[in-house]
Structure 1
Amino acid sequence: MPSCNNREIPLHRGRFLGGSSGTNTCFAIRGTKHDYDDWDLPGWSGEQFFAAMRKAETFHPKDWFQHDPKAHGTSGPVKIAPHDIAPITELMLQSYQSYGLPLHPDMFSTGEQPNGCGHALRTIHNGLRSTGADYVTNAHYTKNVETLTNTLVDKVTLEKTGDGGLRATGVELVCADGSRLTARARREVVVSGGAYCSPTILMRSGIGPREELQKFGIECRVDSPGVGQNLEDHVIAFIPYEVSKPGLTTDHLSWHGDAAARNLADYRKDGSGFLGAMPFGTFAYARLDQRLKDSSLWQEASAKASPGRDPMGLSQHQPNIEAFHTECAPAGFEPESGEASIFCTVVELFGPRSAGTVRLASADPHDNPVVDHNYFADSLDLEVLAEAAQFMNEIVMKGSGTAPVMKGSFPADGRHHAFKNREEWKPWLRDHCQTCYHPSGTCKMGKDDDKMAVLDEKCRVRGVQGLRVADTSVMPKIPNGHTQMPAYGVGERCADFMKESAKL
């Protein structure tokens, strides 16, 4: 990406039952209700979508956590619980509040607070991560579900109908030994390959931009220019710091001495200890209007913004950024020697103006797609993320909880605490930003007059009968949160629409 100093950023995917929820950080952060109201599609209001996410979960409370009972489900396949916090998180909570981010403990479940701090729940219970695979395994396994592993989806089979249209009749698969298999569908086919793979499955099936398909000798059955377009993600940056007192972080449980061996032994014994948790602390949402009011880029874009919206297209009911922190040094930032106590803050951009693409590399399903996230192509994205980094740096270095124990940044040559403004942060961010693994939008839903809408509001592929897509690729606009719970919400809504069709 030229806008990131020509860097390549790794885009990992989860090759597991349950997909990338097998590799993610397990955060159950749902965004705000206003995010889904903005989709402006029937059946997808904030209230309806939050109800769908509640349906997916079984919430397991803890005595210390002040949760909102109305925000949680009690009978879904996905298990959710609070994370027991480390001392550094107690201090960060104080620092967040001292910088005008009030505490709302369960704010990332209710979807009603655009500015504040709270606890991010995890899709972890009793030391085990809960994933989409829980819908079809263990307690939710049913005999009418057959799962094929080590099997690659090539394309959807399309057949002409009596009126000259197209209908999805099955899926062509490539088995581990190279042999091919076709699974036939009596009613519908649902593609759920994620924002990178669903568009490429459609394109190999002949559904996509005509010119793109012709490059690889694929017959265009449905000319759908939006397939593989509108790729959105949340760009983030990890900012490391060192604290002066031992025991505030959990480095002594993760990096120091024989911690790794002890962790493994504990986990093998009863699923307890460090390996049964996800070592991140509390999270915060923030509006940055006042901090950006002196920016000429922000001022120019504000003059062109829609009524009631900021330059990022967000209302006052939506946050500009998310901030959170690790409770120990992540891999890549571990102590170089000794027993230092290190943690990282993370800043995340919401409402990105830059969008990317997913394209085919060839017609061969074994070839990875060509993905270009196009981060920072719009300069205002970098402007806002740089201000977020400066804001978070102030919270850490000057906040009432953390300032007394801060030793500085880590490693010694990365003097982030010395950056005085967003202009000093920008070059650093270009070199250190990375994906938050929230790709979305590449098979987006939309209204009939939207030529880039691949799907209608019921997840149905336009131009084909009996074919739907259900994953984060359907999102018209990326929500201001993390995409694991919204992915389950999309699945729940698609299931509702399929049941409606079956009744008809």
Structure 2
Amino acid sequence: MRNKGSLRTEEPILDGKLSCDYLVLGGGTAGAVVAARLAEETEAEVVLVEAGPSDEGDWRVLELWNWPNLLGTDFDYDYTIEPQERGNSLIRHSRGKVLGGCSSHNSAIAFRAPDYDLEVWERSGAAGWGPEGTRPYYDRVFDRVHVETIPPDNTCTAAFVEAAVQAGYPLIRFNEEELREGVGWLQINARAGIRQSSSVAYLHPLGRLPNLTVLTETRVLRVLLDGGGEAVGAETSRGTIRARGEVILCCGAFDSPKLLMLSGIGPEEHLREAGVPCRVDLPGVGEHLLDHPEGVVIWEASRPIPPISRQGWEAALFARVDPASEVPDLMFHFGTSAFDINTSQLGYPSAEHAFSLTPNVMRARSEGFVRLRSSDPAAPPVIDFRYFTDPDGYDDWIMTEGVKLARRIAEQPALRPWVRRELAPGPNVRDDGQVSEYARRSANTVYHPAGTCRMGAPDDPAAVVDPQLRVRGVGRLRVADASVFPTMIGTNPCITCMMIGEKCADLVLGADAGTLQPRELAR
């Protein structure tokens, strides 16, 4: 390898080829962790490939408060979705196109996944991914990534927290106790207003690891397989990169299945239709697309909203709507602005001073899919979430109840003085049918796509990767990102994606989490 540890932004690979021991494709939330850990724990040569630019020294990315201004820019893939039968077809799915991926592009809300969800993972065939098997890796993330609890400085947000308590929800300390019904101030992976993305926490300063080469602004076109069906490298926009060891795909719930399919790994009939020769018929690639569909209720404030805020969304409420559920099934984020990205397109009014509650379905049952648009790597994938199409109407019901609960919270004595009027859906939308229609038509996403390379037992024909994250039917190829989620978790998934990166590195190296000892990190 030449120029070890260098950051390349425009420089071509002059000889057209580069070789390494481990090739990590995608420098996002999980990929940055995988690459850094492999380079720290071994003397192996590691190459990390990222399509976007570096975030180092770029305050547009590092300043957490600026995150909404990154949406729809060159830092964003800004994917559109297919027309939705029952949901909002205008949703645009932002995906970070920058080193650190969506952890460089989000509001930095930091949660461990609830034990309940990890137990479901393990029962569904993801052996070793239950609470005990993942806890050491969450601990590593929290040791490495600075996480802090937002102080209760914003008086409007504090009024919401008090109103939720008045409505019967106890105060809880997120990540310090097991998730249950309640309200609390969020934890964020930030330090003094500067985001602590996977890139910041694991890669900066770039060049600190002499055996890690980071290639930015380099698109991956396809994974290369040899005649025996083993991954041997990747074709990129700046030449071929060969891997002597393993290739780890970390491109997220849209682009990891897309790259597998472009490489001939996926549903055979679809690959044939897209003009891609099928190397491995793997029907589960691109299936099982999950998300947290999100509604919104917006109120104009009776007074100016205090500008004191880390990122505009500082508190959350977890509630249980279904009496048969063991755990909360509805999550709210509270925002100190008019979250009118979709309501304004439908003609609803907005206001300069406003606040919003966003009920979202923690474990939505509707599933969609990702497909190739063509065999052209530059073509965006076909993305169809099929929002609110689960046969029992569960997602619709949870969302409708969420809008009603949001209104009850706003009527509590602590928050009521802040309300001038309800902007969306407005006072004329009252019965369940009207609320459902509004919630689905104006729905947004919490930008949490997952599940399209689902992890499962080695003999599960619907699974794409096994519990070691190895792609079924392909040698020396793993996937490590939100696409491997067996089921949706109930909280924001960023920290869980970092946890997957931590565990993936150990799986590649054959380490045993049961014998983990604290390690001195190269910084």
Q: Structure 2-normalised TM-score?
A: 0.76
Tell me what 1:345 maps to.
Answer: 357
Tell me what 1:95 maps to.
Answer: 163
Tell me what 1:498 maps to.
Answer: 508
SS state at 2:296 partner:
strand
1:468-489 C-alpha deviation (Å, 9 max, x unpaired)? 0000001110100011011001
Which AA in structure 2 matches 1:21? S
SS state at 1:319 partner:
coil
What pairs up with 1:183-202 in 2 under 5 angstroms? Answer: 183-202=241-260
1:480 to 2:490 alignment: yes
Output the CA distance in 2 between the equivalents of 1:56 and 1:417: 45
Which AA in structure 2 matches 1:147? V
Output the CA distance in 2 between the equivalents of 1:152 and 1:2: 30
**CA, structure 1 residues 209+126, in 2 after alignment: closer, same or farther (shift >3 Å)?**
same
SS state at 2:496 partner:
helix
1:2-60 C-alpha deviation (Å, 9 max, x unpaired)? 43366231111111001111211110023311101101122211233243122113xxx
1:286 to 2:354 alignment: no
SS state at 1:24 partner:
coil
Deviation (angstroms), 1:114? 2.5
Residue in structure 2 matching 1:440, options 435, 450, 472: 450
Residue in structure 1 matching 2:303, options 234, 239, 245: 245
1:326 to 2:335 alignment: yes
1:344-399 C-alpha deviation (Å, 9 max, x unpaired)? 11111122110000000111111100000110012221111111110111111x21
1:204 to 2:296 alignment: no
Tell me what 2:94 maps to.
Answer: 12
Deviation (angstroms), 1:182? 1.0
Deviation (angstroms), 1:222? 0.8
Tell me what 2:212 maps to.
Answer: 145
1:44 to 2:129 alignment: yes
**CA, structure 1 residues 19+453, in 2 after alignment: closer, same or farther (shift >3 Å)?**
same
Contact 2:296/2:403, CA 8 A, preserved across alignment: no
Residue in structure 1 matching 2:294, options 218, 224, 236: 236
Contact 1:387/1:421, CA 8 A, preserved across alignment: no
Output the CA distance in 1 between the equivalents of 2:357 and 2:166: 17
Contact 1:282/1:325, CA 8 A, preserved across alignment: yes
**CA, structure 1 residues 502+27, in 2 after alignment: closer, same or farther (shift >3 Å)?**
closer
Output the CA distance in 2 between the equivalents of 1:447 and 1:358: 22
Output the CA distance in 2 between the equivalents of 1:228 and 1:405: 45
Q: Which range moves more in the overlay, 487-496 or 5-14?
A: 5-14
Output the CA distance in 1 between the equivalents of 2:407 and 2:349: 25
1:91-121 C-alpha deviation (Å, 9 max, x unpaired)? 11111112221101x22x1461321111211
Tell me what 1:355 maps to.
Answer: 367
Tell me what 2:478 maps to.
Answer: 468
**CA, structure 1 residues 203+282, in 2 after alignment: closer, same or farther (shift >3 Å)?**
same
Deviation (angstroms), 1:152? 0.7
SS state at 1:450 partner:
coil
Residue in structure 2 matching 1:400, options 408, 413, 417: 413
1:117-170 C-alpha deviation (Å, 9 max, x unpaired)? 112111211221121212222289311111111111111111134xxxx21111
Output the CA distance in 2 between the equivalents of 1:216 and 1:330: 38
Which AA in structure 1 matches 2:358? V
Deviation (angstroms), 1:493? 1.0
Which AA in structure 2 matches 1:25? S
Which AA in structure 2 matches 1:326? G
Contact 2:275/2:374, CA 8 A, preserved across alignment: no
Output the CA distance in 1 between the equivalents of 2:177 and 2:356: 26
* Number of residue pairs the alignment of both structures matches: 420
Gaps of 5+ in 2: 1-82, 514-523
Output the CA distance in 1 between the equivalents of 2:429 and 2:136: 43
Tell me what 1:214 maps to.
Answer: 272
**CA, structure 1 residues 100+203, in 2 after alignment: closer, same or farther (shift >3 Å)?**
same
Contact 2:335/2:355, CA 8 A, preserved across alignment: yes
**CA, structure 1 residues 347+490, in 2 after alignment: closer, same or farther (shift >3 Å)?**
same
Contact 2:287/2:453, CA 8 A, preserved across alignment: yes
1:256-293 C-alpha deviation (Å, 9 max, x unpaired)? xxxxxxxxxxxxxxxxx76xx20113101111124xxx
Tell me what 1:416 maps to.
Answer: 426
Contact 1:236/1:349, CA 8 A, preserved across alignment: yes
Deviation (angstroms), 1:421? 4.2
Output the CA distance in 2 between the equivalents of 1:355 and 1:187: 35
Gaps of 5+ in 1: 58-72, 176-180, 254-272, 291-309
Q: Structure 1-normalised TM-score?
A: 0.79
Tell me what 1:365 maps to.
Answer: 377
Which AA in structure 1 matches 2:369? T
Residue in structure 2 matching 1:131, options 194, 197, 202: 197
The share of aligned pairs that are identical, in percent, is: 31
CA RMSD of aligned residues (A): 2.4
